[in-house]
Amino acid sequence: MRKLAGILLIGGLVFYMASLVPALFMPSARTSLDSIGTPIIESSERVSGSANVVTAIVVQYRGLDTLGEVTVLFLSALGVAILASGLRDDVFSSMFAQDDGGFILQAGGRFLFPFIILIGVYIILHGHLSPGGGFPGGVLIATALFILILTGESSHMPHRLLNVLEGIAGLGFIGLGALGFMGTEQSFLTNVLPKGEYMTLFSAGFIPFIYAMVGMKVASELTTVVATLTEAPVNTEAPVNTEAPVNTEAPVHGSTKEKGRP
């Protein structure tokens, strides 16, 4: 029944696409940029001072969307923390009970850790000069941090420190945006810091600083998500079976619920 519905659905969509086939064999690529991209490319040097036009769009032209994205990431990390407080199996102690990755994995992870962090910080800070920016740089730093978890090197991430860093980064983002009220235009997220010399590191106004805040927030949030899924409340009663009620006692591990930030 379900397979039949699936095949009908996909068959209908494939039929619709097949009806577009005559248009498929006429080469119709775009040859000029006649959308909103043209005025943005032309004005990006004057308005934002950043050589990377995508960075200028993400931070300055559509800065509120980035604020919304950071909020959605925070909400998903909050959701994971709330849901994971009902899990009962301590993955780390059972996964690494007998063997914990061995000497090669742990020594290799320890060796690679500063290099990955260095590359992540480089990608964050050069977001306005070369491809990258706050988001992949923050993800790289989070990857470095949970290489430590995965190789069995350290079993516990400092959750308090991560929460404080995340709060500071969020406040920094909003504070830098509120600086926009001091300029001539008086609106949120305008670029009022001095724009320096084009194509150097300290140019483009507040773009490196906002990306640094975004990178810090993304890194600490993603580390918290993966660390929460690895640690869990300690098993104090029998494992759940099919019809047992959930969460008859409060979870022991309290720091997964510390998501208090403005």
Partner 1 sequence: MTTWIVLAVSLLLILMALAAIFSRSLASAIILLSTLSLFTALLFVLVAAPDVAITEAAIGSALTTVVFVLALYRTRNALAADGKSAKNAADESSVALRSSSEGTNA
Partner 2 sequence: MISTAQILYVTSFALILIGLYAVVTQRNLIRIVIGLNVSDVGINLLLVTLGFIDGGKVPIFAPGQAAGLMVDPVPQALVLTSIVIGFGVTALMLTLVMRIYAHHGTIDASRLRGLKW
In the complex, which residues of this chain contact partner 2 (CB under 8 A)? 1-3, 5-6, 9-10, 13-14, 17, 24-25, 27-33, 35-37, 40-41, 44-45, 51-54, 57-58, 62, 65-66, 69, 72-73, 75-77, 79-80, 83-84, 86-89, 130-131, 133, 135, 199, 218, 225, 229, 240-242, 246
Q: Which residues, in sequence order, are CB contacts of 79 under 8 Å at separation 6+?
A: none
Q: How far apart are CA 248 and CA 243, in angstroms?
A: 13
Greatest alpha-carbon pair distance for the chain in Å reads 67
Residue 119 C-beta: closest distance to partner 1, Å: 10
Residue 125: how many CB atoms within 10 A of its CB?
19
158/160 Cα distance (integer angstroms): 6
* Residue 65: contacted member of partner 2, partner 1, none (CB under 5 to 8 Å, by partner type): partner 2
51 binds, options partner 2, partner 1, none, Cβ within 5 to 8 A by partner type: partner 2
Binding mask 2-41 toward partner 1 (x if CB under 8 A, else -) reads ----------------------------------------
d(CA 10, CA 4): 10
CB of 238 to partner 1, least distance (A): 6
Site for partner 1 in 63-102 (CB under 8 A): 87, 89, 91, 94-95, 97-99
Contact 59, 224 (CB under 8 A): no
Cα within 13 Å of Cα(186), Cβ side: 1
CA distance 59 to 82: 30
With respect to partner 2, which residue has the nearer C-beta, 117 or 129?
A: 129
Rounded CA-CA distance 168/100 in Å is: 34
Measure Cα distances from 131 to 3, 46, 51, 56, 257 in Å: 44, 20, 10, 12, 36
Residue (of 136, 126, 147) closest to 52 by Cα position: 126
Choices 2-10, 132-140, 175-183, 197-205; region in contact with partner 1 by CB under 8 A: 132-140
Q: Which is nearer to partner 2, 107 or 244 (CB)?
A: 244
Binding residues vs partner 1 (CB under 8 A): 52, 54-55, 87, 89, 91, 94-95, 97-99, 123, 131-133, 135-136, 139-140, 142-143, 146, 150, 222, 225-226, 229-230, 235, 238-239
